[in-house]
């Protein structure tokens, strides 16, 4: 276990879990937080929790992150109750500390929080069945629709300029210039690919500034493993990983799901011949997302969906490469050159989208 998680026992002691903790282990495949599954015994009953050491290098305003999460989940809980749903399964439930706080700081300054574990549901790293992807599209769309009445001014911007692609480009150029690890020569082809697309990076952000795309409350990290799929009904039961819920663009939420879920290969596939955009999955996701949004997207937003997919994939490729050049300080890595592999997959997917651009636009035109 990384030293940063050394004080997990302090967190277990501080948070108000029911019963006695009998086991805990690392869990999930997120790139940012340290996530643990915690098992408690309360008399005859077994209760599971998710315990996370939050990444405070990335989320510097932990208080703000937790205020957002409490605000959004309280709001969603009410909506779910109104519709006779089960809020303990359909949104995250924060488990507070024994003194009533939404997070805990341990003696070495690490921040911890806990959630109820969502039972009988799973997260996936690849789409196993097209119908699952459709269900996740509906759930992410619905998430955005439900939050359309949320007071956006109450949200803290937990990572400024999170999907400001031109700002990401500047960070990339800086990392390239500094080349602190001397890795630049390993990625010349990828660097050139990104540079050639610099002009396109500001398309969405410019449309926002010009009022052509509306600012909405969005999730901003809509990959497949940030949604729980019910093991029995196969519905997208709960949207998780709410750290980046902020005002943003609907086309970005759409786009990030396509980047991850409609890729025929894994995010870190090394055999690039396996990487491509699945047009059937692209179409299925459009259908589900528009339905989930209750058909509230504007014509311009729908028209720009392919661009959302391309920009999110390009931006993510650029972010992985920036991290590779900077010494892998942001995304967790599990092998040498992991971030370079991830960047290559993303950029190959961008290239495939460019080849399929006419088809992508053709599909979208049927949904306007």
Task: Give the interface with ligand ADP as residue ranges (CB under 6 A).
Answer: 27-28, 30-33, 35, 50, 92, 115, 117-118, 123, 225-226, 240-241
By a kind-dependent CB cut-off of 5 to 8 A, residue 267 interacts, out of Mg ion, ligand ADP, ligand GN1, none, with: ligand GN1
Q: Give dist(CA 94, CA 80) in Å, integer.
A: 16
Q: Are 330 and 178 in contact (CB under 8 A)?
A: no
Stretch that binds ligand GN1, among 27-35, 36-44, 123-131, 188-196 (CB under 6 A): 27-35
Q: Which is nearer to Mg ion, 144 or 226 (CB)?
A: 226
How far, in Å, are 48, 63, 134, 138, 289 from residue 367 at the CA level? 42, 41, 15, 15, 11
By a kind-dependent CB cut-off of 5 to 8 A, residue 11 interacts, out of Mg ion, ligand ADP, ligand GN1, none, with: none
Contact between 268 and ligand GN1 by CB under 6 A: the answer reads no
Q: Give dist(CA 249, CA 258) in Å, integer.
A: 15
Please, which of residues 236-295 interact with Mg ion by CB under 5 A? 241
* DSSP H or E stretch at residue 365: helix 357-365
Q: Which is nearer to ligand ADP, 152 or 159 (CB)?
A: 159
When binding is defined by CB under 5 A, the residue of 11, 30, 175, 244 that contacts Mg ion is: 30
Contact between 316 and ligand GN1 by CB under 6 A: the answer reads yes
Q: Give dist(CA 26, CA 9) in Å, integer.
A: 14
Q: Are 282 and 262 in contact (CB under 8 A)?
A: yes
Q: Least distance (Å) from Mg ion to the CB of residue 326?
A: 21
When binding is defined by CB under 5 A, the residue of 165, 222, 226, 263 that contacts Mg ion is: 226
Instruction: Please state, as a whole number, how many other Cβ atoms lie within 10 Å of the Cβ of residue 11.
Output: 25
- Give phi and psi for 140, each to the nearest 5: -65, -40
Binding interface with ligand GN1 (CB under 6 A):
30-32, 58, 221, 223, 226, 241, 243-244, 256, 267, 316
């Amino acid at each position: 276990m990384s030293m940063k998680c050394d004080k997990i026992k302090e967190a277990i002691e501080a948070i108000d879990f029911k019963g006695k903790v009998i086991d805990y282990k690392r869990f999930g495949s997120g790139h940012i937080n340290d996530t643990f599954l915690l098992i408690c015994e309360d008399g005859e009953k077994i209760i599971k929790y998710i315990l996370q050491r939050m990444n405070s290098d990335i989320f510097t305003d932990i208080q703000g992150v937790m205020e957002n999460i409490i605000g959004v989940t309280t709001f969603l809980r009410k909506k779910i109750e109104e519709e006779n749903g089960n809020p303990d399964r359909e949104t995250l439930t924060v488990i507070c500390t024994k003194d009533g706080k939404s997070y805990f700081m341990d003696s070495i300054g690490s921040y911890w929080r806990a959630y109820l574990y969502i039972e009988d549901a799973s997260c996936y790293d690849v789409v196993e069945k097209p119908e699952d992807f459709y269900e996740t599209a509906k759930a992410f769309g619905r998430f955005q629709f439900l939050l359309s009445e949320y007071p956006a001014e109450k949200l803290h911007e937990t990572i400024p300029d999170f999907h400001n692609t031109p700002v990401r480009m500047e960070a990339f150029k800086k990392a390239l210039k500094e080349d602190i690890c001397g890795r630049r020569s390993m990625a010349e082809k990828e660097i050139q690919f990104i540079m050639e697309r610099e002009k396109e990076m500001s398309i969405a952000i410019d449309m926002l500034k010009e009022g052509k795309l509306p600012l909405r409350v969005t999730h901003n990290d809509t990959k497949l493993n940030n949604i729980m799929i019910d093991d029995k009904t196969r519905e997208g039961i709960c949207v998780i990983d709410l750290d980046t819920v902020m005002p943003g663009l609907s086309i970005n939420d759409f786009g990030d799901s396509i980047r991850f879920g409609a890729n025929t290969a894994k995010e870190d596939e090394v055999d690039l011949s396996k990487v491509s955009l699945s047009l059937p999955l692209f179409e299925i996701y459009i259908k589900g997302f528009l339905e989930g949004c209750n058909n509230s997207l504007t014509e311009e937003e729908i028209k720009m969906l392919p661009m959302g997919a391309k920009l999110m994939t390009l931006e993510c490729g650029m972010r992985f490469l920036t991290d590779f050049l900077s010494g892998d300080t942001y995304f967790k890595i599990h092998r040498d050159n992991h971030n370079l592999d991830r960047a290559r997959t993303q950029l190959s997917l961008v290239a495939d989208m460019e080849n399929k651009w006419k088809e992508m636009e053709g599909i979208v035109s049927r949904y306007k």
